[in-house]
Structure 1
Amino acid sequence: MINPYRTDALLPQPGMLVGRRTLIQASMFGAASWAALQGTAGKKVTASETLSGEIGFGRAKRCLLLFMWGGPSQLDTFDPKPEAPDAVRGPFKTIATNVPGINFSENFQLLSQRADKLAVIRSLGHDDPAHLSSGHTTLTGQLPPRNKSDAAPPSDRDTPHIGCVMSKLRPSLGALPSFVTVPWFAYHPAAPGGQAPGQDSGWLGRQYDPLLAAGDPNAPGWQVPSLSLIEGQSPDRLLRRQNLLTLMDTQRRLVDEASMSRRLNAQQQQAFGLLTSSSVRQAFDLEQESPETRDRYGRNTHGQSVLLARRLLDHGVPFVSVNWQNDGQNFWDTHGNNFNRLKNDLIPPSDRAFSAVLDDLEQSGQLNDTLVVWVGEFGRSPHINASVGREHHPYCYCGVMAGGGIRGGQVYGASDKHGAYPSDKPLTPHDLVATMYHALGVAPGEVLHDGLNRPHQIVAGRPVRELFV
């Protein structure tokens, strides 16, 4: 069995503050390597300029992340084991897809006919069985400040979510936010820490936090709470109040030119822009979609969240994360009743919404430059427990990628005969996020600074270039 938890002494440890000497050495090594690879030794080149010719680099202009909070079972989704014993295989049958040799669980009736658009990764793995800390690693590509823990909530020491990093590096134009999360920040009632870290901007600064489109987009009359004007307010009246506040802020800045005041003013301006912009309100308005389209995505929280995400991408939001919603049944964390939950509650909405957004992106011509990623924080145990469920199993699980230069119709990596450990081409969450950054045009040596001007290397894993066209 191949060890999926490789280390690389040449790279900083995930989440580590990179010292000046290390940065200089890494930069010299990286620049020399890139220059040699391109035949440009002696020429001054940047990482992005050199990598721009690499396969898949920077192809994606926008990203949709479908985060299946709780940990989907790899055996019951995209890596079925029809030859395994009943106690491992479970009751689901395996179905062929529209790509010969690629099989899914029988419950993915729609996605199975779109496998030619998908790259299925069957060799993801790590060693953290806790929801919160592994959630941080999945969403940031870096280990959290406190690893293997369900007791550590979000903090300003967390690595920023990939969407927050992109907000810094590739901000949206106009009034629309650069990063939107739908429909909530993932939270687990059984975890002492509650909300998973890694869902906000962490050490990067609050100005890069996502806009949370909270609530149930499937509910009649749903509106984004943070974009709703107070009853009786109009955009014109709000603008007059903004002008008054701006005058007061100007007076205050004559006394205090501290950076915090400037940051607060920028956030206030953004907030007022969101509240008063008709284009923003239109982007979030699901009533603009036909009943047939809403039905196609599924008249449920997840389906309408994915439809909203597609609308936001269409209107210029570069990054949208759809977290599996608070369903009151512990999400994909199926310690008990695994097969009924998957068959009746979890897979059908995911199958329908994922298929619908792929169809729409392809029809509009945007799939080629829109990266779509489906993944959870870990997988489930091959052994079926006494509650007809599966326990946490971080050592091997699946992820799915599409669009943004990803070559469809492929399976990357493999697991052993019981889906317990990777047997070929093992990948970590660090590698998956590094691959996302590669697609989005972020070079491996990219460094950002925190509020104390300390450098952090953003990319900790190895981009999987073989996944790209």
Structure 2
Amino acid sequence: MSIPRNPGGRFPAPCAGPNRREALKAGALTLGGLSLPGLFQAQSAAASPVRTTSGRAKACILVFAWGGPSQLETLDLKPDAPDEIRGDFRPIATSVPGIQISEHFPMLAERMDKMAIIRSMSHDDPAHLSSVHHQQTGHLAPRPKSDADGPSPLDWPHLGSLVARVQPRSGALPSSVIMPWTVAHPAAPGGKAPGQHGGWLGKSFDPFLLPGNPNAEGFRVEGLNLPEGLGPDRVRSRRDLLSSVDRGAVEPPSWTKTQARAFDALLSAEARGAFQIDREDPITRDRYGRHIHGQCMLMARRLVEAGVPLVTVNWHDDRKNFWDTHLDNFNHLKNRLMPPTDRGLSALLDDLAARGMLDETLVVWVGEFGRNPRITRNNAGREHWPRCYSALLAGGGVQGGMVYGSSDRWAAYPASDPVSPADLAATILFALGIDPGTEVIDPIGRPLPINRGTPVTDLLA
């Protein structure tokens, strides 16, 4: 039995980004050593007028299923396919007649009326690292189809960095946060995936990294609590001293952007409060699940409630190959991956709705690709498959209770309405009120559109 070839689909045209010499020049122009207010001032000064849309979302929570979840076990089951395609899981009815998803997403099934499924996500890159760049920036990586390259100044900026660039904000909180780590793969030569930082926009546009496990007893964001005997005046004095020592350096060794953010956050009750997850009612915390993924989802809600426009929750460093289920696919999904996702994502939707925030907060769940329709029988695994996979969207003006696009009989290729990573990124920008065609000026003076995809406006009410 062979898997049919893709009947066609639209993919973003490669963009001629800066070459290596230009990227190095850009690195020399980055604004290292800024305090957080200075960072926002620099971003504001660099911003060009943003073209707006009718999108009504004020924030986006991007939940990234790092490793590539199987479409056939999550959102696009094929119960009538042959055994070597179908797998072990059953589809179950949802709250919307005619839409079925996996039996191991029972809580999400009850909330299908709040969600939309894309079953026709598609691209042609089977490599983890370059596909992360594509999914999290909306642009092809400098070297597509490769796990060899880690982050570099050649990268396109992360979606959160682009939002910060075209919609600069003031205040003590950053425009974009990534938690609980920037994803990396131990089997990939490049290690850390590209596309998770400011790229050629410079380090001043890096998302703020919030590392650690919010479920851990006594969890604190490093640097947000003043040591005993150290008052705000002494903090300001130390900040000024470090700034003066490092002033003039291209990449100051001690006065890094992360330290600058931490110093400013130390002086901000707003910032400290947003990150203090232990202020939440224990009952609320229980609803999300007392595990790192659930508590990251709760932290994401706290941050968008405090005004952060884009929060990325990456699947954590579980030391068990994440969603990359080459081996024992069904047991990993059933016992390790799907239950915390089901609980955490369901609690997030309920919590946002109860607070009147769901209509203004776009929630997106997606991985970098899907899994091969044919099961590898000797180890019950599925290999990488970018040609067809699924995404889940809710809130932020998304029409609940709908499926966009379709896959063929084996979930191998889109049968209708293919959606590329660029299109999904364009949809996020559009929902946030940002025209994807908005141009920014790169470090050598070229105007570049922040996205070349097509928003899937049929998803939006």
TM-score between both structures, scaled by the size of structure 1 = 0.86
Secondary structure of 1:302 counterpart: helix
Which residue of 335, 346, 352 corresponds with 1:355?
346
What corresponds to 2:453 in structure 1? 461
Deviations 1:180-228 (A, max 9, x none): 1110000100100000000001001101111111011111111123545
- Within the alignment, does 1:119 sit opposite 2:123 as a pair? no
What corresponds to 1:63 in structure 2? 60
- Identical positions, percent: 53
What pairs up with 1:44-63 in 2 under 5 angstroms?
52=53, 57-63=54-60
- Within the alignment, does 1:6 sit opposite 2:3 as a pair? no
Secondary structure of 1:190 counterpart: coil
What pairs up with 1:192-271 in 2 under 5 angstroms?
192-227=189-224, 233-245=230-242, 248=244, 270-271=261-262
Distance in 2, matches of 1:185 and 1:266, equals 16
What pairs up with 1:9-20 in 2 under 5 angstroms?
13-14=14-15, 16=17
- Within the alignment, does 1:86 sit opposite 2:83 as a pair? yes
Which residue of 376, 379, 386 corresponds with 1:387?
379
Deviations 1:277-321 (A, max 9, x none): 122111111110111111100000100010011011111111100
What pairs up with 1:369-408 in 2 under 5 angstroms?
369-385=360-376, 386-408=378-400
CA RMSD of aligned residues (A): 2.4
What corresponds to 1:313 in structure 2? 304
Mean Cα deviation higher: 268-277 or 307-316:
268-277
Q: CA deviation at 1:239?
A: 2.1
Asked whether the equivalents of residues 125 and 422 of structure 1 are also in contact (C-alpha less than 8 Å), the reply is yes
Q: CA deviation at 1:355?
A: 0.5
Count of matched residue pairs: 426
Letter in 1 for 2:96: V
Which residue of 322, 330, 336 corresponds with 2:327?
336
- Within the alignment, does 1:448 sit opposite 2:452 as a pair? no
What corresponds to 2:163 in structure 1? 166
Distance in 2, matches of 1:393 and 1:176, equals 38
Secondary structure of 1:400 counterpart: strand
Structure 2: segments with no counterpart, 5+ residues:
20-47
- Within the alignment, does 1:188 sit opposite 2:180 as a pair? no
Q: CA deviation at 1:152?
A: 0.5
Q: CA deviation at 1:244?
A: 4.1
Letter in 1 for 2:15: P
Asked whether the equivalents of residues 382 and 418 of structure 1 are also in contact (C-alpha less than 8 Å), the reply is yes
Secondary structure of 2:391 counterpart: strand
Distance in 1, matches of 2:345 and 2:18, equals 37
Letter in 1 for 2:372: S
Secondary structure of 1:133 counterpart: helix
Deviations 1:237-280 (A, max 9, x none): 2123234456x37xx97xx6x9989xx79887644211221221
Distance in 2, matches of 1:98 and 1:195, equals 39
Which residue of 403, 407, 412 corresponds with 2:404?
412
Q: Does the C-alpha gap of structure 1 residues 47 and 272 become closer, same or farther in structure 2, counting only changes over 3 Å?
A: closer
Asked whether the equivalents of residues 10 and 419 of structure 2 are also in contact (C-alpha less than 8 Å), the reply is no
Secondary structure of 1:374 counterpart: strand
Secondary structure of 1:123 counterpart: strand
Q: Does the C-alpha gap of structure 1 residues 366 and 244 become closer, same or farther in structure 2, counting only changes over 3 Å?
A: same
Distance in 2, matches of 1:216 and 1:457, equals 36
Distance in 2, matches of 1:396 and 1:364, equals 35
Letter in 1 for 2:235: L
What corresponds to 1:40 in structure 2? none
Asked whether the equivalents of residues 172 and 317 of structure 1 are also in contact (C-alpha less than 8 Å), the reply is no
Q: CA deviation at 1:333?
A: 0.1
Asked whether the equivalents of residues 205 and 450 of structure 1 are also in contact (C-alpha less than 8 Å), the reply is no
Asked whether the equivalents of residues 153 and 199 of structure 2 are also in contact (C-alpha less than 8 Å), the reply is yes
Letter in 2 for 1:387: N
Letter in 2 for 1:363: A
Secondary structure of 2:130 counterpart: helix
Q: Does the C-alpha gap of structure 1 residues 17 and 134 become closer, same or farther in structure 2, counting only changes over 3 Å?
A: same
What corresponds to 1:304 in structure 2? 295
TM-score between both structures, scaled by the size of structure 2 = 0.87
Distance in 1, matches of 2:289 and 2:213, equals 13
Distance in 1, matches of 2:278 and 2:257, equals 31
Structure 1: segments with no counterpart, 5+ residues:
19-45
Distance in 2, matches of 1:327 and 1:266, equals 28
Q: Does the C-alpha gap of structure 1 residues 14 and 431 become closer, same or farther in structure 2, counting only changes over 3 Å?
A: farther
Q: CA deviation at 1:448?
A: 1.4
Q: CA deviation at 1:232?
A: 6.0
Secondary structure of 2:435 counterpart: coil
Letter in 1 for 2:135: T
Asked whether the equivalents of residues 50 and 166 of structure 2 are also in contact (C-alpha less than 8 Å), the reply is no
Distance in 2, matches of 1:15 and 1:275, equals 41
Asked whether the equivalents of residues 98 and 114 of structure 1 are also in contact (C-alpha less than 8 Å), the reply is yes
